[in-house]
Amino acid sequence: MCQGHAAGTPVAAVPQDVGAFVGERVPLEPVERVSVTTLVDNSVDVLAASAEGVVRPPIGRWGMQPSSVFADGVVLDGPVAEHGFSALVEVTTAGGAVHRLIFDTGVTPDGMVENLRRLSIDPSAAEVVVCSHGHFDHVGGLDGLVRRLGGRANLPIVIHPEFWAKRRVAFPGRDPWELPTPSRAALEGAGFEIYEREHPSFLFERSVLVTGEVPRTTEFEKGMAPHQALRPGGWEPDPLILDDQALIVHVRGRGLVVVTGCGHAGIVNITRYARALTGVEDVAAVMGGFHLTGPGFEPVITPTVAALEALAPRMVVPAHCTGWKAQAALAAHLPDAYVANSIGTRFDIPAAVAGG
């Protein structure tokens, strides 16, 4: 199914009777290491310092590009920020195998692949693409990825069935704005092998779990009120954005690493669901978009921060659509866990050392 990439079947469905809080646990295999490198985000900070488990690309090692306004005729060729999200996720299994996937692809056709080039990362090493949902700021970079791979992807892509929905946002007092809609024909024509999964699914011999649709259980994470979807009877409210899904990895002795795109399902819902599915209580890291920006979401910041404090993740990396007010609240209430994201940053979480 995936010639030229990992041996075996990289996408395996989890039995559909797995519930959110009852029933048999999902047997997610612990891994020896997970690394998450930010390829696309809304910000880049060239002066951010590295720390334990957080590796920032030093500015002195970035490449150069031509520029006529400098004496030497060159200027820095560093990563470029855009409104979107993408990450390269690398896992090392208990058997020592190393697997890579691309999670989301940003908004512009060339943003992700140009940042891959600037970071000296070869996209051909990726074995699968996972899209958190069908919004354009997480899908647009598939165009450039196909071109960078020689005009044909030959990759599995894991999505939720609602990924294809035609959508718009309708704010009171404004004309509705229709979002760009992904094309199945275009993705299949580009060589992607499409896997639609409403329920959880495994990647890489049960070492990575894609959540599929996430149950909504908190009182405060109610979705995006102005969001609508085109159904057979016309435009209908679609606040929950049910195709929103996340990645889960279990790092041996550390706990769960949860990676989100926008977190439309709610970062607390998602993290609780990850714990319930796997039976693993410890949370090593939550990272990605938490969608807490703007007046409609600011009332959700306080209960979200309080719930995350109770979940006690060792690392919190809010990105993309989280917003500066939520970032400030998270930094204030989880000061030992909070890490500011920046394009090019690699978050490296190894398994715990026995006896350490």
- Please check whether residue 354 lies inside any domain of the structure: no
Sheet with 234-237, strands from edge to edge, namely 177-178, 167-169, 227-231, 234-237
Nearest to 31 by CA among 122, 76, 94: 94
DSSP string, 269-331: HHHHHHHHHH----EEEEEEE----STTTHHHHHHHHHHHHHH--SEEEEEGGG-HHHHHHHH
Give the side-chain half-sphere CA count within 13 A for 194.
Answer: 15
- Please check whether residue 345 lies inside any domain of the structure: yes
- Please check whether residue 64 lies inside any domain of the structure: no
- Please check whether residue 72 lies inside any domain of the structure: no
**Cα–Cα distance for residue pair 4/268, rounded to 1 Å:** 37
Range scoring the smallest mean pLDDT among 56-65, 111-120, 260-269: 56-65
The answer to whether 174 touches 211, Cβ cutoff 8 Å, is no
CA dihedral 290, 255, 138, 232 (to 10 degrees): -80
What is the average pLDDT value for the chain, to the nearest integer?
92
pLDDT-derived band of residue 25, with 50, 70 and 90 as boundaries?
confident
Tally of domains in the chain? 1
Q: What pLDDT score was predicted for residue 1?
A: 31
Q: What pLDDT score was predicted for residue 14?
A: 56
At residue 231, φ and ψ (nearest 5 deg) are: -115, 175
Residues 6 or more apart in contact with residue 139 via CB below 8 angstroms: 104, 105, 131, 182
Determine which helix (DSSP H) or strand (DSSP E) holds 156, and give its type and residue range.
strand 155-159
Nearest to 274 by CA among 222, 316, 218, 211: 211
Mean pLDDT computed over 334-342: 98
- Please check whether residue 139 lies inside any domain of the structure: yes
How much of the chain, in percent, has pLDDT values that exceed 90?
88
- Please check whether residue 100 lies inside any domain of the structure: yes
The answer to whether 330 touches 338, Cβ cutoff 8 Å, is yes
Please, what's the largest Cα pairwise distance for the chain? 67
CA dihedral 310, 311, 315, 318 (to 10 degrees): -90
pLDDT digits over 253-263, tens only? 999 999 999 99
Domain span holding position 42: 11-58+77-349
**Cα–Cα distance for residue pair 163/242, rounded to 1 Å:** 9
Query: Is beta strand 86-93 parallel, antiparallel or unpaired with respect to 98-103?
Result: antiparallel
pLDDT-derived band of residue 354, with 50, 70 and 90 as boundaries?
confident
Mean pLDDT computed over 110-124: 96
pLDDT digits over 188-240, tens only? 999 999 999 999 999 998 999 999 999 999 999 999 999 999 999 999 999 99
Residues 6 or more apart in contact with residue 306 via CB below 8 angstroms: 333
pLDDT, greater one: 27 or 339: 339
How much of the chain, in percent, has pLDDT values that exceed 70?
93
Q: What angle do the packed helices 298-311 and 267-278 form, to 10 degrees?
A: 30
Mean pLDDT computed over 303-311: 97
- Please say if the pLDDT value at position 353 is more than 90: no
Residues 6 or more apart in contact with residue 259 via CB below 8 angstroms: 36, 87, 89, 103, 246, 247, 249, 287, 288
- Please say if the pLDDT value at position 20 is more than 50: no
- Please say if the pLDDT value at position 18 is more than 90: no
Q: Where are the alpha helices (DSSP H) in 191-296?
A: 267-278
- Please check whether residue 71 lies inside any domain of the structure: no
Helices (H) and strands (E) in the chain, counts: 6, 21
pLDDT digits over 130-149, tens only? 999 999 999 999 999 999 99
Kindly report the CATH number assigned to the domain that includes residue 288.
Answer: 3.60.15.10
**Cα–Cα distance for residue pair 310/303, rounded to 1 Å:** 11
pLDDT-derived band of residue 61, with 50, 70 and 90 as boundaries?
confident
pLDDT digits over 43-58, tens only? 999 899 999 999 999 8
pTM: 0.93
- Please say if the pLDDT value at position 296 is more than 60: yes
- Please say if the pLDDT value at position 21 is more than 60: no
Q: What pLDDT score was predicted for residue 8?
A: 41
Residues 6 or more apart in contact with residue 133 via CB below 8 angstroms: 160, 162, 163, 241, 243, 244, 245, 261, 262, 264
- Please check whether residue 116 lies inside any domain of the structure: yes
